[in-house]
Amino acid sequence: MRTTIVVGLALACPVLAAAGSAGSAGAAAQGSAPTGAYSADLAPVNHGGSGHVELDLLGTRLAVSLTASGIDDGVHVAHIHGIRQAQAECPALGRDVDGNGLVDLVEGLPDYGPVVRTLSNGTSDRGTDLQYERTFKLLDNGDAIASLGRLDQYAVVVHGVDIDGDGRATDPDVQHDGSDPDDNEVSMPALCGVISPD
């Protein structure tokens, strides 16, 4: 079962990987980052659930504490999204361009921006509730955490939504029509919250 999920993530995330690469340019500027405490309340983008993230920026390190509950059972990849010197936002249903009643990863990108730091630990972040504390020194593109600058330029997005009603958010291609994000349960945004200083 674990092998299947890993393969599913590999198939599910070409768009996530592309978004992360796009974030490289936005986060590439190196410099001294201020220290400080930040947080984000996570609200539903698709379906239900809620959560909260505490982020402590400690110069060269970023300590993250994330909790979420009431989300669809399945794999939940979480990221910091955004572009340095731009205020990130969370998408509303008005972003549903294809009219399927869901805001997919690509439809939400104009609001929350590309991936800059993955908070998840592989496929272990799964279920209907999440709770973890992790510390990071690098962004996904290899840049130092300090290159983020102030964290209130970013948002946190938790992905993973059950689209086909089987009770699990694990299928990267529900309609079996390729890698379109509109039916990718693993990359579909579940929760989003704009980061603000405490």
Residue-range domain boundaries for the chain: 2-197
pLDDT score, position 25: 38
Determine how β-strand 50-57 pairs with β-strand 36-44: antiparallel
Confidence of residue 59 (pLDDT cuts 50, 70, 90): confident
Q: Which of 191, 189, 158, 170 is nearest to 79 (CA)?
A: 158
Using CA atoms, how far residue 137 sits from 55, 65, 97, 192, in Å, is 13, 15, 36, 23
Integer Cα distance of 113 and 101 in angstroms: 21
Whole-structure pTM value: 0.83
Q: What is the pLDDT of residues 81-100, one digit of tens each?
A: 999 888 889 999 999 999 99
Q: What is the pLDDT of residues 28-42, one digit of tens each?
A: 344 454 689 999 999
The CATH superfamily assigned to 2-197 is Superoxide dismutase, copper/zinc binding domain (2.60.40.200)
Q: Which of 167, 172, 168, 166 is nearest to 185 (CA)?
A: 172
Q: Which of 127, 116, 100, 103 is nearest to 187 (CA)?
A: 103
Average pLDDT over residues 111-137: 92
Q: What is the pLDDT of residues 129-165, one digit of tens each?
A: 999 999 999 999 999 998 998 999 999 999 999 999 9
